[in-house]
Amino acid sequence: MSKKMHVKLNVNGEDHEFLAEPRELLIYALREKLNITGPHVGCETSHCGACTVTMNGKSVKSCTVFVAQANETEITTIEGIGTPDNLHVLQEAFKEHHGLQCGFCTPGMITRASKLLEENPNPTEEEVRFGIAGNICRCTGYQNIVKSVLSAAAEINATKEAAQ
Amino acid sequence: MIPAEFEYYRPASMEDVIALLEEHGDDARVMAGGHSLIPMMKLRMADIPHLIDLQGIDGLANITVENGKVTLGAMVTQHNIIGSDALTSAVPILREAALQIADPQVRYMGTIGGNVANGDPGNDMPGLMQCLNAEFHLIGPDGERTVEARDFYEAAYMTDREDEEVLTGISFDAPSGGYAYEKQKRKIGDYATAAAAVQMTKVDGVVATASIAMTNLSDVPVWSEATADALIGTDCNEGAVKAAIQAMLGDIDPTEDNRGPVAFKRHAAGIVLGRAIARAWSRT
Amino acid sequence: MKDEVTREDRVANLKGMGCSRKRVEDARFTQGKGNYVDDVKLPGMLHGDFVRSPYAHARIKSINIDAAMALPGVTAVLTAKDLEPLGLHWMPTLAGDKQMVLADGKVLFQGQEVAFVVAADRYVAADAVELVEVEYEELEVLVDPFKALQSDVSLREDTLDADGKAADGAHGPRKHPNHIFKWEAGDEAATDQVMDSAEVVATEEMYYHRTHPCPLETCGSVASMDKVNGKLTLWGTFQAPHVVRTVASLLSGIEEHNIRVIAPDIGGGFGNKVGVYPGYICSIVASIVTGLPVKWVEDRMENLMSTAFARDYWMKGKISATKDGKITGLHCHVTADHGAFDACADPTKFPAGFMNICTGSYDIPVAYLGVDGVYTNKAPGGVSYRCSFRVTEAVYFIERMIEVLAIKLNMDPAELRSKNFIKKDQFPYQAALGWEYDSGDYQTAWDKALEAVDYKGLRAEQAQRVEDFKAGKTRKLMGIGLTFFTEIVGAGPVKNCDILGMGMFDSCEIRIHPTGSAVARLGTISQGQGHATTFAQILATEVGLPADSITIEEGDTDTAPYGLGTYGSRSTPVAGAATAMAGRKIRAKAQMIAAYLLEVHDDDVEFDVDRFVVKGAPERFKTMKEIAYAAYNQAIPGLEPGLEAVSYYDPPNMTYPFGAYVCVMDIDVDTGVPEIRRFYALDDCGTRINPMVIDGQIHGGLTEALAVALGQEIAYDDQGNVKTGTLMDFFLPTAWEVPNYETDFTVTPSPHHPIGAKGVGESPHVGGVPCFSNAVQDAFRPFGNTHTNMPHDHWRIWQTANDLGLHD
């Protein structure tokens, strides 16, 4: 075993410190060390996006990030996107429009979509499809996922307009 | 898929990087975003006992466009390229190409330095850099040096970079005229079945200058002077384009893989090039 | 007014059958609180990982585990030698064959399990795998089933008799050491006779390539042997948890009541999680050996290389007809590549599944089917990937043969279908290959579909496109893909459907609580289908309590009644029926309670939405909620307290969902890139329980069909190396490659199912694959194409165009 290093992560606003081998992958550190099991392992070669988290403001596939690289970063997972009492609009929209079936891709999908909407609050259908193309879903055929994301965008925009 | 163990370094200066490279020789590798390297390590196809993460080095992620000269730090990501207004206006082909690489998450992490330095024939930026006649800036124990992109690639994963050297950045003159990056791929995230980078200028209704490079059609990117020559002085009519495609086919050497047999790839290369030329010409 | 709540309100309040109830599963999934097998974490848990064979066929000369055992953190390295004393180095397959758990003297496919490393964490386990030294002697590799049947090399020495000849297998005599079975249906002599004298005969050979269900979650298990209490708990990705319990008990000798199998949330199955894999067995043995919980979760490469593949059928067809297009006979022969072990997940009496549904939706008087199963040096499997057993192959076969016949007859393929449909008044229809179709109204569905897409207009547009192409005005061709499919799902009647002797009934157990809420447990297990939502809807309608007050539980064998699990679209046809029947038992008792409370005779009350009312006096009623309370709190003469029911449902027949699909595709002849312009899917799944869920199933099934038709394959080179082991090369489409689909429906209820439902999850895949394929092939029909094999990826489409001279 190579020597363990001291790792500091801020996950969903909470600081964590632990020892880890540098080669440990961020996804396993989150899931197994911190018991944050929302992000999943799907393909392990950065193709499927089930492990997507936001790291320092970027959507990343946490199966392809060493925990050493992630040291001292801020991470948001599905668990940090909404709370049971205050769901994110996307979480509501996915439920409303049947944007999920087995649920395995959903945490990564919603986490990615949340970043997409931050960067592009008013996407076209084509932009949504392009923007979530790093996330594979085997169940839904994407039609209702796209619908969910578009409806969430509309709702966010409507809320913003109402506030102005 | 678990990589073999390694020592991890996150040095704060390039001197420290060089020192580590000198100490460990080919047991060490530098890593930018890691999105080429980490999958290889996880599949245990790359064994890297000493991994040097460049993220702690300041100044490697700058984009500058000044006096017609474009400079990109090695740690500039594909996402940065897509989002840079200065680059989009000075070198629109760069954004057009970056959007066709991988997927959103990978583009946040994947860097231009990693893409060009890795020597993977599937990567898109090496061909594009050859098209743009870019220079790669390397630093090593003996100081800095510059290599032309067109001289950098020797074979798959073999480049002119020495083990103790680091690619720190890329520079090139902002091109003028029409451009196109055309890529055929099986799906989002795939490498090219065939891709073409075309830059050209028009004077008096004919092609004045042209530069053309092909991707994933040989074990190195293929910048084809003969292809460009076939267009220069023409108005990109059907005959000229055909001649250009013929010239290009003389320079590529694709191999069969899951994307298809050689005959298909050669045909696709011709189609992709023809479309790239047409689009570039329409933009002159 | 005493009661302003209208009857309509009461119906809506139930959220029963027919409404698009939002899914109750989604709260946890959207918040990252699903509980999948890899989320199971137990104190002291160890991690298992496999040493796998790099070769497709090799003798194992030695295995040295010393270096691996010396690595700190390694607890055990198991090989076949360790399993042999327990009799666990081989295991029975669902198809009546047996399979090595760990390589016993030789390996038969690349990626085969050779040794099982158990270590403190996944990192140490992976390092130890590298340290196990295995010495192999390479043997001749057979990847072609036709060559395998000619070869002197016997892949499976364990299946030979004392003279070295092929001993009889589970399905009868074998003609060659690499032959597994011959299975036949129909009348070959009569079919040959029809063919010989037919006015028109069309023949075609087609290969339905090998692919893989590839759910996003790979397979895995966590075994925990509690040595104090003698109880084994096994969590895993199981589409059939009770079957796993029984098999685990038979193999291990642990009595069934001491085994608890739990299928937690499952991240997609699509057939991949029906079988029993060596990893499950090894995790159990390792837990027994170490006394600690052991987790095994495969990675994606392992999933694609070693767990159950689908298809790999070489099909040879002959179809005869009169000159004016009335089909007179069908002949089909299949050479089925089953890989190294026959591990198909079919009902035991059906070694080629329900391939004998290959007469499709047509009234074909005479037919014959013969299937030869063959061993090769490829991974075992042969599961139904999003279809009932081999039904995708059958439907692909007949829907291609129809197109081929249409070409031969120079007839429009839509018209040819119309001409040969089984007519509405022919149901129940006895098909030539043995099945009795329960119901259907094919012509109505077909006409609706053709009208919806303006079929005539499409054909006119296509003809114009061909003209334009020939005139050099375009390089894109247009294809119109048609499919009319009939599925056979809901396995099945115990009289002919069993798996390892266990009849394929299913079950539901309902317990109504005193305050009028309920829990129901079933023998099935959802992998994304939304059972917790839809089964509660069935019950809501049947027992008159709101779906929101009904919890559905599945997947824990300690609590759920015995059932055969979820695959082959059997949940709604079988467990859904059990649910309705159990609900009716509840209602029957409730009726007696209501009559007592209302002081009338049992026959004088009738059920109305959520209550029993006195006939002719609607103001006199007892709600189901009141009745539930009374069931527990009031002594009712002649009745036991409580309100519970169980139903084990043995279906009298299969169900036969059908559908009409049309795909419009534009194909770039020069690059081979297809573009899906339109996809229209009309499904008739009988009674519709939740339209929203149905549409979701159809979108998903069509997308998996698109993948299979247009590029997804498990490809091997001639040395048996897997060429498509990661998601770089194994095609799973993203949102970018997938179109929006138009869905439509007709409703022809199943006459024998308690609520008339037929199942829907797999129809879109079964119908979708031939529809996408037919669209590609139809585009090239005007240029002389009859048939090309899938997958229609860019280069193969380009090759078709090239072969037809379209690049000249």
CATH number of the domain to which C624 belongs:
3.30.365.10
Same domain assignment for residues B52 and B70: no
Three-class SS of residue C496?
A: coil
Same domain assignment for residues C48 and C84: yes
Same domain assignment for residues A14 and A36: yes
Q: Looking at CA atoms only, how far is residue B185 from chain A in angstroms?
A: 14
C-alpha C780/C-alpha C789 separation (Å) is: 13
For residues C439 and C428, the answer to whether their CB atoms sit within 8 Å is yes
Q: Which of B105, B109, B188 to mutate to test the interface with A (most CBs of A within 10 A)?
A: B105
Same domain assignment for residues A105 and A130: yes
Nearest chain B residue to A60, by CA: B105
Does B150 fall in a domain? yes
Give me chain B's average pLDDT, please.
97
Q: Which residues of C touch A28 (CB under 8 A)?
A: 122
Same domain assignment for residues B153 and B243: no
Scored b (16 or more CB within 10 A) or e, B210-225 reads: bbbbbbbbbbbbbbbe
Which residue, B119, B170, B113, B175, is CA-closest to B146? B170
- Is residue C497 part of the annotated active site? The answer reads no
Range of the domain at B242: 192-282
Boundary (domain end) residue, out of A80, A103, A133: A80
Does B164 fall in a domain? yes
Does B21 fall in a domain? yes
pLDDT, mean of residues C194-202: 98
- Is residue C386 part of the annotated active site? The answer reads yes
Pairing of the two strands A73-76 and A5-11: parallel
pLDDT-derived band at A2 (thresholds 50, 70, 90) equals: low
Give me chain C's average pLDDT, please.
96
The amino acid sitting at B238 is E
Whether B81 shows a pLDDT value over 50: the answer reads yes
Same domain assignment for residues C619 and C689: no
Same domain assignment for residues B102 and B164: yes
C-alpha C67/C-alpha C134 separation (Å) is: 12
User: Residue C568 has what pLDDT?
Assistant: 85
Least confident window among C1-15, C383-397, C502-516: C1-15
Domain CATH for A156: 1.10.150.120
CB of C301 less than 8 A from some CB of B: yes
Domain CATH for C74: 3.90.1170.50
Boundary (domain end) residue, out of C649, C665, C689: C649
For residues C605 and C595, the answer to whether their CB atoms sit within 8 Å is yes
Same domain assignment for residues A76 and A44: yes
Same domain assignment for residues A105 and A65: no
pLDDT, mean of residues C439-464: 98
Does C63 fall in a domain? yes
Strands (E), C293-363: 294-297, 309-321, 327-339
Contact A103 C267 (CB under 8 A): yes
Q: Would you mind telling me the total number of residues written for chain B in this entry?
A: 284
Nearest chain C residue to A145, by CA: C735
Q: Which residues of A touch B189 (CB under 8 A)?
A: 47, 133-134
* Contacting residues for B145 by C-beta, under 8 A, at least 6 apart: B137, B138, B139
Domain total of chain B:
3
Range of the domain at C409: 395-490+655-803
User: Residue C1 has what pLDDT?
Assistant: 47
Cross-chain CB nearest to C795 (options B5, B260, B271): B260
Q: Helices in chain B by DSSP H: which ranges? A: 14-24, 37-42, 78-83, 85-90, 92-98, 104-109, 112-117, 125-131, 149-152, 225-231, 238-251, 262-282
ipTM confidence score: 0.98
Same domain assignment for residues A118 and A98: yes
Does B2 fall in a domain? no
Name which residue leads in pLDDT, A3 or C400: C400
Q: Looking at CA atoms only, how far is residue B152 from chain A in angstroms?
A: 28
Question: Could you tell me how far CA B167 lies from the centroid of its own chain?
Answer: 13
For residues C444 and C635, the answer to whether their CB atoms sit within 8 Å is no
Three-class SS of residue C455?
A: helix
Same domain assignment for residues C702 and C579: no
pLDDT-derived band at C2 (thresholds 50, 70, 90) equals: low
pLDDT, mean of residues A42-66: 97
C-alpha C551/C-alpha C553 separation (Å) is: 6
Domain CATH for B31: 3.30.43.10
Same domain assignment for residues C604 and C472: no
The 10s digit of each residue's pLDDT in C684-713 is 999 999 999 999 999 999 999 999 999 999
Boundary (domain end) residue, out of A80, A104, A139: A80
User: Residue C3 has what pLDDT?
Assistant: 56
Same domain assignment for residues C520 and C616: yes
Contact A144 C696 (CB under 8 A): yes
Domain CATH for B110: 3.30.465.10
Range of the domain at A112: 89-163
Does C73 fall in a domain? yes
For residues C180 and A66, the answer to whether their CB atoms sit within 8 Å is no
Same domain assignment for residues C689 and C674: yes
C-alpha B62/C-alpha C469 separation (Å) is: 50
In the complex, which subunits touch A with 3 or more CB pairs below 8 angstroms? B, C
Boundary (domain end) residue, out of C632, C649, C666: C649
C-alpha C685/C-alpha C697 separation (Å) is: 12
Domain CATH for A54: 3.10.20.30
Same domain assignment for residues B126 and B159: yes
Same domain assignment for residues C740 and C790: yes
Does B272 fall in a domain? yes
Boundary (domain end) residue, out of C262, C297, C332: C297
C637 phi and psi, to 5 degrees?
A: -55, 130
What share of chain B has pLDDT > 70, as a percent? 100
CB of B2 less than 8 A from some CB of C: yes
For residues C526 and C401, the answer to whether their CB atoms sit within 8 Å is no
Same domain assignment for residues A67 and A120: no
Boundary (domain end) residue, out of A43, A63, A80: A80
C-alpha C291/C-alpha C345 separation (Å) is: 32
Does C203 fall in a domain? no
Same domain assignment for residues B79 and B162: yes
Domain total of chain A:
2
Domain total of chain C:
3
Cross-chain CB nearest to B38 (options A1, A5, A66): A66
A146 phi and psi, to 5 degrees?
A: -60, -45
Q: Which residues of A touch B2 (CB under 8 A)?
A: 23, 25
Same domain assignment for residues B52 and B71: no
Same domain assignment for residues C597 and C659: no
Sign (positive or negative) of CA dihedral C453, C455, C461, C463: positive
Cross-chain CB nearest to B264 (options C723, C737, C799): C799
- Is residue C387 part of the annotated active site? The answer reads yes
Domain CATH for B244: 3.30.390.50
Does C319 fall in a domain? no
Same domain assignment for residues C41 and C29: no
Same domain assignment for residues B226 and B275: yes
Whether B237 shows a pLDDT value over 60: the answer reads yes
Measured CB to CB, residues of chain A less than 8 Å from chain B are 1-3, 5, 21-23, 25, 44-47, 49, 52, 58-61, 64-66, 68-69, 71, 112, 116, 130-134
Does B210 fall in a domain? yes
Does B238 fall in a domain? yes
Global pTM exceeds 0.90: yes
